Amino acid sequence: MLELQDVSLLVGRGESVQAILSDVSLKFPRRHFTAVIGPSGCGKSTMLKTIAGIVHGREEGMIRWDARDLTEHDFAPSEIGYVPQFSIAHEELTAYECVEAAIKLRVRGTGGDALVTLVENTLGEVGLLEVGDRLVSVLSGGQKRRLALAMEIASAPAILLCDEVTSGLDAQAEDEIVALLHDLARHDRLILSVTHSLRHLHLYDSVAVLCRGVLAYHGSQAELAHYFRVENLEDLYARLEERTASEWAASWRKHSDAYTRDIYEAASIERGEAERAAAAEPCADAPKRAPLVELPGAASQFATLLARRFRIFFRSKGQLLLQLGLILGFPVLVAIFAWNGLPQVQNMSVGLDQNVIDQMKEAPEFLKQASKIGSLVSGIVMFQVILLTLMGANNSGREIAGERLIFEKEKLSGLRCSSYVASKAVFLSVLVCAQSLWMGLFVHFVCGFPGELGAQLFYLILVNAAMTSICLGVSSWMFTSEQASLVSIYLVGFQLPLSGAVLALPDWVGNAVRPFISAYWSWSGILQTLRLERYYDIVKMVAQTELSDALLCTWMLAAHIIIGLFLAWTGSRMSRMS
């Protein structure tokens, strides 16, 4: 049994505190199907989110489930299913793959034939077995709602919260969804469904009416019109406007016993059975409840998420073409930039003796030419670095924010944040390595760029990984993918001017911002790989900013990666659903 006792939700501070819900008291037995109706903004969705524990604000009152106080012992992930208004399926996956992934993330030890059977049975239960091989992107609105239900009932939850799952559907699809929910409620399952439609109230076991945050009615559909004194239910919402919220609440407290007797008697009997079962040793006549489903381990969830992410990547033609374009195109830009200068670098390096500085002092023309070449080498390195930071921002700027609502839903169902962030890190590391290695190899062999190749590749990978990691952290803290992309691009935009590689910064500015500029540390580290080259002193002499030690560059870039992953983990733990 689910029981809400004087539940209120307060938001704001000081004099601006508002009650979104106010002293709502309800009881629901299992195998019960309830419609939650009321005007827009009356607190219907908020009530469901309060039950699920995903609202922000100060909660008052008590919510009990099977004689258990949820303020002390929350729902186990497998006990509750929540179907939100938004889609909880990736468009690039098939219906079968969505349900399969949901089971792998929520149910331990299911694989092989048992997994296939469970997926097919779940799809069959919601009427999607025949379209299981279709991509989510081509499913109709009604089929997507069925798929969302399938993903939720896969772990056999005892309570299912549905937030306007019929909104936006045509009449036939709405009929089918409500009938499906009615049937699902017959299997020892409590279903609360928020809806604006009054067409199917006869299929519900009870109807709860909210008005500006208070409970105005909870009883059968047959007595709904009588209680509100309306001839047609279509006039119900207009009738609610005729009294204040406090007047409806007072009226309901006065008359509730007459309308809820049958519902609450069934709920009270069920509560008594649950309390006796909890207090007594297991016995033959104890109430039978399905055992709680055990969640998979962190490693299993990680493997499922990683496989799903690669599958989505290779099916997204736009994302795939963009990555190929960046990987293949950006090194060509570097080659064009260096086309005329690098032959001079190579020619000049031939015949230089160890006393380069003396030559520069004695030969003004040599000094002029060397200055150009030193600037070119420094510029080529920075150009590679900036392009890789741009790729890093593109890699992860939308990675979490773009699927945040899906992630929040999966987190409610028991997904570990550590598994989620780890899967993102491994997936992105593949992109980072492909982008950075091709950039370094192309510039080294096609352009003939000098220096120690292995070390240069190392610093290119590090700077790409650092920006990718930081932008992943940014993505986890943003509310929308557009916000995350914008902030990520700003971060890249500040890399070049604040690095000091092009225009020297005042010492106090450089010292203040340099620790945060990953481009500087990669640029400096790569230039340090030219130490064995004869024109290293030329490059160092014309550089606008002092070069840092290679080991320090390595540690600073590693710190950026660690900080970014930490930000991603902390940001992923924050709720963004309500």
The two structure tokens encoding residue 177: 């969804």
pLDDT in tens, 248-300: 999 999 988 888 877 767 656 665 665 566 566 554 444 444 556 789 999 99
pLDDT at residue 272, rounded to an integer: 63
pLDDT of 156 over the 70 cut: yes
Residue 15 CA: distances (Å) to CA of 12, 19, 61, 176: 8, 12, 21, 46
Q: CA-CA distance, 300 to 423, in Å (whole number)? A: 11
Q: CA-CA distance, 440 to 449, in Å (whole number)? A: 9
Kindly report the backbone phi and psi dihedral angles of residue 63, in degrees, each rounded to the nearest multiple of 5, phi listed first: -120, 130
Architecture of domain 2-279: 3-Layer(aba) Sandwich (3.40)
Q: Please count the other Cβ atoms lying within 10 Å of the Cβ belonging to residue 392.
A: 30
pLDDT in tens, 78-122: 889 999 887 889 999 999 999 999 999 999 888 889 999 999 999
DSSP structure class, residue 21? E
pLDDT of 434 over the 70 cut: yes
pLDDT of 350 over the 50 cut: no
pLDDT at residue 351, rounded to an integer: 46
Domain range annotation of the chain? 2-279, 298-573
More confident residue, 518 or 57: 518
pLDDT at residue 504, rounded to an integer: 73
Q: Taking the mean position of all CA atoms in its chain, how far away is CA 284?
A: 45
Query: CA-based angle 124:305:191, to the nearest 5?
Result: 40
Averaged pLDDT, 553-568? 97
pLDDT at residue 273, rounded to an integer: 61
Q: CA-CA distance, 417 to 526, in Å (whole number)? A: 35
Mean of all residue pLDDT scores within the chain = 86
pLDDT at residue 343, rounded to an integer: 56
More confident residue, 6 or 86: 6
pLDDT in tens, 528-547: 888 776 667 777 776 777 88
pLDDT at residue 366, rounded to an integer: 55
Beta-sheet pairing, 58-65 with 2-11: antiparallel
Q: Identify how many contiguous H helices and E strands the chain contains and give both numbers.
A: 21, 10
Strands (E), 410-569: none
Beta-sheet pairing, 32-37 with 190-194: parallel
pLDDT at residue 170, rounded to an integer: 87
Residue 223 CA: distances (Å) to CA of 21, 36, 199, 228, 267: 24, 15, 15, 9, 20
Q: What distance separates the 2 farthest-apart alpha carbons in the chain?
A: 107
HSE-CB at 525 with a 13 A cutoff on CA atoms is: 27
Q: Quickly state the pLDDT bin for 41 (edges 50, 70, 90).
A: confident
- Identify the H or E element spanning 257: helix 245-279
Does residue 15 contact residue 33 with C-beta atoms inside 8 Å?
A: no
DSSP structure class, residue 95? H
CB-count exposure of residue 219 (10 Å: 0-12, 13-18, 19+)? buried
pLDDT at residue 127, rounded to an integer: 92
Lowest mean pLDDT among 285-294, 309-318, 429-438: 285-294
The two structure tokens encoding residue 529: 């790989």
DSSP structure class, residue 552? H
pLDDT of 365 over the 60 cut: no
Q: Quickly state the pLDDT bin for 357 (edges 50, 70, 90).
A: low
